[in-house]
Amino acid sequence: MKLSGMQLNSVKSAMRALRIGRVLLRYRLDDLLDGTPIERWLKLARPFVPKASPEIAALSRGVRLRMVLQELGPIFVKFGQILSTRRDLVPPDVAEELTLLQDRVAPFDGETARTLVEQSLGRSIKVAFERFDTTPLASASVAQVHAATLPGGREVVVKVLRPEIEKQIAADVALLKTMAGIVDRTHPAADKIRPREIVAEIENTLAAELDLQREGANASVLRRFWENSPDLYVPEVVWSHTAERTLTLERVHGIPSDDIAALDAAGIDRKALAAKGVRVFYTQVFRDNFFHADAHAGNIWADSERKDNPRFIALDFGIMGQLSSEDQYYLAENFMAIFKRDYRRVAELHVQAGWMPSHIRIDELEAAARAVCEPYFTRPLAEISLAEVLLKLFRTAQRYELTIQPQLILLQKTLLNIEGVGRQLDPKIDMWAVARPVLEQILLERYSPQRLAEEFRKRLPEMITHAPDMPRLLHAWLTQQVQGQSTAQINSQDLRDLTRTIRGAQRRTIAAILGTGLLIVAAVLYALEAGGPRLFGIPASVWIAGLGGVWALLAAWPRRK
């Protein structure tokens, strides 16, 4: 009997689920699932699975979990990496072990890689490369890397996707979605954990890693941001030898940032390197809004040629992070509030950002934040882990109905990785002293008059386009207000107060519209003037813009009753 496509997928999912169950039992991780809907099925399977070997039985649960995730494949490795950032859900010993997940697996055949590269580039290896080494330099769960030489002698590395990897990931994503659905229906805090959103985030991350042309674009953008930087080097993409399933980059040489012995042997200033790592992270997040989100030691090397003024070399650009302008603002303000020990501000920001419901009492949340942070500030700053403080705040806030933000998961993971790398390089690094001036400078530049003028210039064409419509829209709105006047008598004090509020809002709206009109007039003058009238050396357009801004600000200012 021939099975339909849907039936075949169901059979495959069942077989995959059975294999996962067998692996969990072999490593004796079934105890982690006690109290879940899967527990009874695992109990039925236990008699058919051999007992754990003495070597496995002697391992801690964190090590066993890490080994299970590595054996199950790429999507489970990514899941474990993300889970390592959720220390509010995972015990500390397990979370620490999961941070060691490096996504390393056995390589596939080199001749197969050669064939895949030829198919992807549409030409033979002999034409595309002067030399192609079939023995891989590195192998991960999604792709592996081979050394090669371009015609002319330039050394490069070629990254090629594993065969059939898309089908394997699609099957695992489908299974993970099923598991998320079970958690969503059965877990009492599912609305806060948001398992479906987390799985969707993993799916999007893996989809990005499966498109090597997109990874090349990521590398190209990051290289542009850090071109000629003394702090970070990004290898160049060879676009003529890059496609959706193959990525070619210039070959770079460095030392993995966790190889302390090799760094010392090369004479590299580890303290300077650690401080640069922290600065690079905050700059990527808050200046560029484009950060390397897989920044473990295997992907972050130190340039072996630079000793006194060391720099990092970035590798593997499949996972890059970006935030909305709102998330950027609230995160930056949260960091600054923690630096200043302003717990009231921390509490207010969590509510204003929408991360917590508005009915939460600010004073209670402030007291909780104070209870978490103050014990840390009794220690020397060099001994304080910024990531640990933030994670404890996160765990505390969850008791006050904090909703998990999937878009921030990558940032949390990256922060933990960067702090881990920094403390390996320099155990006494003062993360706070390094991070604070960088963040202050970035925020100062972001909200400087020059930056605001630049944003104004960007929006100038749009404002000029809509300027001719403003008089007509203003006239129409005022006509509607006049025709809509009511003479009804209101006796209720509450309704009278409401009417007074509405009328005040109308007055402020009219003033705001007029103020906006002045801003638009200033925009037009700014675009057209070249040596126009000035007052005290300042162009007339700037005076008009200032008048319009003050008018709009006064219009928005609440009036006393």
Residue 111 has pLDDT above 90, yes or no: yes
The Cα angle at residue 202 between residues 199 and 204, in degrees rounded to 5: 110
Please indicate whether residue 363 is annotated as part of the active site: no
Q: Give the highest mean pLDDT range of 74-88, 108-122, 277-291.
A: 108-122
Residue 526's pLDDT band, with cuts at 50, 70 and 90, is very low
Q: What is the mean pLDDT of residues 21-40?
A: 68
Catalytic residue among 30, 88, 269, 294: 294
> What digits encode the pLDDT tens for the residues 170-226?
888 888 888 788 778 877 667 766 778 778 877 887 888 889 999 999 999 999 999
Tell me if residue 439 falls in helix, strand or coil: helix
> What digits encode the pLDDT tens for the residues 424-467?
888 888 877 888 888 888 878 776 777 777 777 777 777 777 77
Mean per-residue pLDDT of the chain? 77
Residue 3's pLDDT band, with cuts at 50, 70 and 90, is low
8 A C-beta contact, residue 148 and residue 156: yes
Per residue, the 3-state secondary structure of 475-525, as one string, reads HHHHHHHHHCCCCCCCCCHHHHHHHHHHHHHHHHHHHHHHHHHHHHHHHHH
Residue 551 has pLDDT above 50, yes or no: no
Distance CA 311, CA 291 (A): 17
Tokens 């960088």, residue located? 438
- What is the reported pTM? 0.69
Cα distance between the two ends of the chain:
81
